[in-house]
Amino acid sequence: MSFVLGRTVGGYEFLDIINSSKTQISYRVRNALTGRVEMLRILQEGLQHDQLRVERFLREMKLHSHLVHANIVAFHNALEIEGRLVIVTELVEGVTLAERLTLGPLPLREAFSYMYQALDALGYAHAQAVVHRDLTSGRMIVTPDGTLKLCDFGLAKSLTSPELTQVGTVIGTLGYISPEQVKGSPTLDARTDLYSLGVVFYEMVTGRLPFHAKSQFEIMLAHVKETPKPPSEVNAAVPEELDHIILKAMAKDPADRFQNADEFHTALSVVDAAMDRVSGKVQPLAAQDVMEPPVAPSEARPLVSGPIALPASLQPAASMSTSLFREMLSSHSDISELTIIGIVTAVVGVVAAFAYALMSKH
């Protein structure tokens, strides 16, 4: 039995159905007290008496209710309506990352932004001892302003709670599943999520999943045995430095991956910064580029003795245009101001010396 649209029950007005799957129905509802439009999820009628499904639904309620983060869909309420358990969450207007990827691979800047947000969300969840275990591009919602929200904690597990899944049972979505999930390991930890996020990252920059096969068994075997083609070989716009990051996240052995979200984030930041330098973005000068060792008074040089010498990092390359060089100088106002002061001081000194010579003749 599904809820009748237009009817208000349990304090919620049922507006329409967002989606319906074999296991759940999601409704757009309006909270009768606050007027806020939210999302309400419920198990399909045929699963109301499935003990494992109900236990997982209850566990999702408990785990999700403790996760409060800007990049995780907000939990609002859990209750019974007409004898059926429901979860009420934030309704996020946007598209899933999977839907966004139907248009092709993402620009690198967009992909990096989503990765940083996903890593922030996972880092927070892992700090609360929660492992998602079913991370896919379809479980990430992107809003019109570029905010990414992680959703659907149906297979999430607390590292401190009992295991509901039998040992040897494969859980997760095959395209994104970690090798240890394929093997049915009973001790999945945060590194499982990082593997799946590595797959999502691969998908973001190439527009496709790393493994393709005719059967589910072959896909599972590929996750355990095969090394995916480097992303840069699939999409020439991907720098080779990024290959290492993605393939490390997808290492077969959890010990060879990033050990936590912070490590992943840091490695990504290093490549991000390197890409900025390659693209020509002016970076802050290092101290050695703007300072020289002091000289003794007896060895002091004239203020100006020929062309003004600039630090090596400010010397224009042969291919650099004059306008770009001026722009680079202007971005370091402390350097350009000192140079101007030196020139002005030198000119004043020359003029004074010339005036003194004229006066001496008279």
Helix H or strand E encompassing 331? none
**Going along 120-250, which residue ranges are E strands?**
130-131, 140-142, 148-150, 157-158
Give strand pairing partners of 90.
38
pLDDT at position 42: 94
pTM, full prediction: 0.74
pLDDT at position 27: 97
**Strands laid side by side in the 148-150 sheet:** 95-96, 140-142, 148-150
Q: Which residues of the chain have pLDDT under 50?
A: 164, 166-168, 282-362
Q: Which positions are annotated as active-site residues?
A: 134
pLDDT single digits (tens) 272-305? 998 877 665 534 333 333 333 333 333 333 333 3
pLDDT at position 126: 97
pLDDT at position 47: 84
pLDDT at position 177: 95
pLDDT single digits (tens) 178-202? 999 999 988 899 999 999 999 999 9
